[in-house]
């Protein structure tokens, strides 16, 4: 169960954010409106939400998940693989240290973005991607081991981040897309396969028994609702244009 979340207000410079989506520029005002809806959903799920101010020097800074991993036992500050995002890390420290008196660090040449990390209980699946390298994965697994937590590396070749293609919805249920449909590391899970045309919905988020689902993907929503959890649909169009999903917009702990 989660009790808190940290989010960061989108900045106007988000129009210059990193993206491979080819969906056009986001509408800043609509993005802010969608972000407010996201915050309301977090609160509806029972979370106390800390809202950080925009960082105009960092266009992707609203995707706050990537710069830290907050576990039940420790906080780990990452070293993003995207050079333009590395300066975001010091700006998360003040918010994190209110709940974690000390933290661990991923250090160069290791790179880790927490969009590549999926938590299942006390185990962490870590995607090897263009943003998270093998040295970063090794450092992360070593740090987790200090706190009696475990981690394993997930090979992948098609996804930007691991959680672009896989989301854990508790009770052994896993949303998958693309190459994650058949990755043997997830054979023990019940996989709910999301079709290519609704792939964005593979990044949905379980919070305290409720599942947040991006709006506009009816087949994925129906499959998720079969699990019996309440769902909240959220419009995410402006963040989708920047390759950002529901999990990317908050640190939940």
Report the C-alpha gap between 146 and 163 in whole angstroms.
25
Number of domains in the chain: 1
| C-alpha distance from residue 130 to each of 142, 187, 199 (Å) | 21, 24, 20
Look up the domain containing 136 and give its range.
Answer: 4-252
User: What residues are designated binding site?
Assistant: 18, 60, 65-66, 85, 131, 242
- Looking at residue 216, what is its pLDDT? 98
The answer to whether residues 112 and 141 touch, using CB atoms and an 8 Å cutoff, is: no
- Read off the CATH number of the domain in which 209 is found: 3.75.10.10
pTM, two decimal places: 0.96
| C-alpha distance from residue 216 to each of 9, 97, 193, 234 (Å) | 23, 37, 17, 9
- Looking at residue 18, what is its pLDDT? 81
- Looking at residue 23, what is its pLDDT? 82
- In sequence order, which residues have a C-beta less than 8 Å from that of residue 30 and are 6 or more positions away? 237, 238
- In sequence order, which residues have a C-beta less than 8 Å from that of residue 136 and are 6 or more positions away? 78, 79, 81, 106, 110, 111, 112
Which SS3 state, helix, strand or coil, does residue 69 take? strand
User: What residues are designated binding site for substrate?
Assistant: 18, 60, 65-66, 85, 131, 242
Under-70 pLDDT residues of the chain: none
- CB neighbours (10 Å) of residue 54? 16
Report the C-alpha gap between 55 and 160 in whole angstroms.
23
Q: Mind telling me the catalytic residues?
A: 161, 248
- CB neighbours (10 Å) of residue 87? 14
Beta bridge partners of 79: 112
């Amino acid at each position: 169960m989660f009790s808190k979340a940290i989010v960061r207000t989108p900045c106007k410079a988000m129009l210059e954010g990193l993206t491979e989506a080819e969906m056009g520029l986001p509408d800043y005002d609509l993005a802010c409106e969608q972000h407010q809806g996201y915050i309301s959903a977090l609160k509806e799920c029972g979370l106390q939400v800390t809202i950080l101010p925009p960082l105009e020097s960092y266009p992707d800074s609203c995707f706050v998940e990537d710069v830290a991993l907050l576990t039940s036992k420790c906080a780990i500050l990452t070293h993003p693989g995207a050079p333009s995002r590395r300066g975001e890390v010091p700006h998360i420290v003040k918010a994190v240290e209110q709940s974690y008196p000390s933290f661990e660090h991923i250090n160069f040449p290791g790179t880790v973005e927490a969009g590549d990390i999926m938590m299942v209980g006390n185990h962490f699946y870590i995607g090897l991607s263009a943003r998270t390298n093998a040295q970063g994965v090794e450092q992360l697994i070593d740090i987790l081991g200090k706190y009696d937590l475990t981690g394993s590396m997930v090979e992948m070749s098609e996804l930007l981040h691991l959680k672009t293609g896989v989301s854990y919805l508790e009770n052994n249920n896993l949303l998958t897309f693309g190459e994650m449909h058949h990755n043997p590391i997830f054979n023990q899970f019940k996989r709910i396969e999301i079709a290519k045309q609704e792939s964005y919905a593979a990044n949905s988020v379980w919070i305290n028994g409720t599942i947040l689902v991006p709006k506009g993907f009816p087949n994925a929503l129906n499959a998720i609702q079969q699990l019996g959890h309440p769902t909240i649909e959220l419009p995410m169009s402006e963040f989708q244009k920047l390759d950002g999903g529901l999990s990317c917009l908050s640190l939940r702990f």
